[in-house]
Amino acid sequence: MLDGGWRVLNGQRPDVDFSPGIGIVTPLIMAAGLKLAHNSVNGVAYGSALVGAFVGLVGYAIGRKRMPWIPATLISLFLALIAIAPYPLGLPPNILSHAMVYNRYGYAMLGAVVLEVFQRQSGPSAKLQPGAVATGILSAILLFGKPSYGMVALVFAGYSVLLDPRKRWRLIGIVLGLVVGSAALMAWLRFDFAAVWNDVSLQAAAKGSGANPWGIGTAMVKGLRDILWPALLAVFVVVIRSRLQPLVSVVLVLIGGSLLLATNAQADGFPLNAVFAIILAEQGRLAAKEFGAGNAARFLRADTVILLVALLCFAPPFLGSASGLVYAMVKSRENPPESEVPRIHAAPLAGLLFYDVPDALESDRRSSGRVYVEYLNDGIHLIRSVSTPEETIYTLDMTNPFSYALERRPAHGGASCMSLNHHFSDKHKPSPEWLFGAADIVMVPKRPAAAEQDTTALMRNYLPSIQAQYVLCAQTEWWQLYKRPSHLEGCAGVR
């Protein structure tokens, strides 16, 4: 994320000048955060705060036109919390990390689409509803942010067109928003459709190489467990109002959430269900009022049951995100000594804390705690000892931390993230020329931070090209530093 944001601040455009790995929207958000944070690592949190404010305001604006202020406020707060809670979805709230924050952004924006699509707006007919335009704009942002979220948003939007008696105007509104949002993002990329298509199709092919049907099946099973309470609310609404729409909506939300879980590197979690539960609770409340007309006691009993069922679905993810945010705020007040939490020896990253997790998997220990700090510090010292600030750097690992850490101009090309069967495969991969061909220095780790399968695949596919095009300049226990044959200044004993 930091590499992508740093590249944007240095005038590069995702998909056109480098492969972002996570769509073009997240690097833009990170660039805005870094700008506000004066290039410090706090820019990640600033970026999340911007997204949280945006989805919270959009969610409230949409919800307030469709329901009373209390449920509208709950949904808007929840959408904001999804975006800003600083721990990975599917993990306990005390596992603080910004890993996969782009999934949080995706769920937060998709939650606003769910609200607009599945909670129909009452009142007089309008030829063009702002909500439909908002759904189109959000769908465009999601498509350019992470296409899987955008595709789910478009399916939801298409379903809403079929339900709305003003189909033509709703369709026009969604298409208008989609075109406006897409045009704004493509204008930033100078309408280089070929570059966007090439990068997206390469990643889609790489993901297809590692597709696992069992993963989708497992996600569906987990989804069935999580959707039970919203399904119960939907059944209540169906029985009272004799409409099947709520049950169809349940099926769509189940399929959408399961597909996202299966295609994300996410352990668990269905945040959309909490938004959907509030929507169904409001529909159920109105249905209970109709059911209990003329009998206050019957209405109050039904209303109470509906609220309890909705809370069973809404409260756990809401409180989880809220507690994670509070826990992070408390931890941020601490200033542990370096003997407990070692620091990275580069100004932009000096405020970032990596804690040891004794019971973590081997792949996680490589990229956190003392191991990762030593990995970074050793590389930083080696680069500083044999190169000038003008020389650009690429790293043959999952990520390239050194351009941002040393505040150097990033090389053209390359990728912000390289994970097997997500961003490349043995068959579908960026060329060596695109990946590191423009860099003055290529860092090859002896003890990589990536998981074993990613490391092995990177070395298998790219190390021979590095050794053929570059010269080994210097090495340490952690790193081999390669330079171009024409730029061997600083390389002792190398000709």
* Model pLDDT, residue 23: 86
- d(CA 434, CA 415) in angstroms, rounded, equals 9
| Across 192-206, 241-255, 426-440, least confident range | 241-255
Provide the pairing of β-strand 479-483 with 393-395: unpaired
- d(CA 319, CA 91) in angstroms, rounded, equals 14
- d(CA 276, CA 122) in angstroms, rounded, equals 18
In this predicted model, what pLDDT tens digit does every residue of 352-393 receive, in sequence order?
A: 888 887 777 777 778 888 899 999 999 999 999 999 999 999
Specify the higher pLDDT residue, 310 or 38. 38
Query: DSSP letter string over 303-356?
Result: HHHHHHHHHHHHHHHHHHHHHHHHHHHHHHT----TTTS---SSGGGTT-----
pLDDT at 297 over 60: no
CA dihedral 248, 208, 198, 47 (to 10 degrees): 60
Helices and strands, number each (H, E), in the chain: 19, 4
| Across 14-28, 68-82, 195-209, 235-249, least confident range | 235-249
Specify the higher pLDDT residue, 268 or 297. 268
List CB contacts of 17: < 8 A, sequence separation 6 or more. Answer: 7, 412, 413
Q: Label residue 320 by pLDDT band (50, 70, 90).
A: very high
Alpha helices in 85-146 (DSSP H): 101-118, 130-145
pLDDT at 212 over 80: no
In this predicted model, what pLDDT tens digit does every residue of 106-148 receive, in sequence order?
A: 999 999 999 999 987 765 556 778 899 999 999 999 999 988 8
Query: DSSP letter string over 146-184?
Result: -HHHHHHHHHHHHHHHHH-TTHHHHHHHHHHHHHHHHHH
- pTM of the full predicted structure? 0.90
Coil, helix or strand at residue 394: strand
Task: Report the pLDDT averaged over residues 152-173.
Answer: 87
- d(CA 374, CA 424) in angstroms, rounded, equals 27
Q: Label residue 292 by pLDDT band (50, 70, 90).
A: low
Task: Report the pLDDT averaged over residues 322-333.
Answer: 92
Q: Label residue 495 by pLDDT band (50, 70, 90).
A: very low
Distance of CA 90 to the CA centre of its chain: 13
* Model pLDDT, residue 215: 72
Coil, helix or strand at residue 493: coil
* Model pLDDT, residue 165: 67
Specify the higher pLDDT residue, 293 or 351. 351
Question: What percentage of residues in the chain have a pLDDT greater than 70?
Answer: 93
**Of the candidates 313, 287, 279, 226, which has an alpha carbon nearest to the alpha carbon of residue 118?**
279
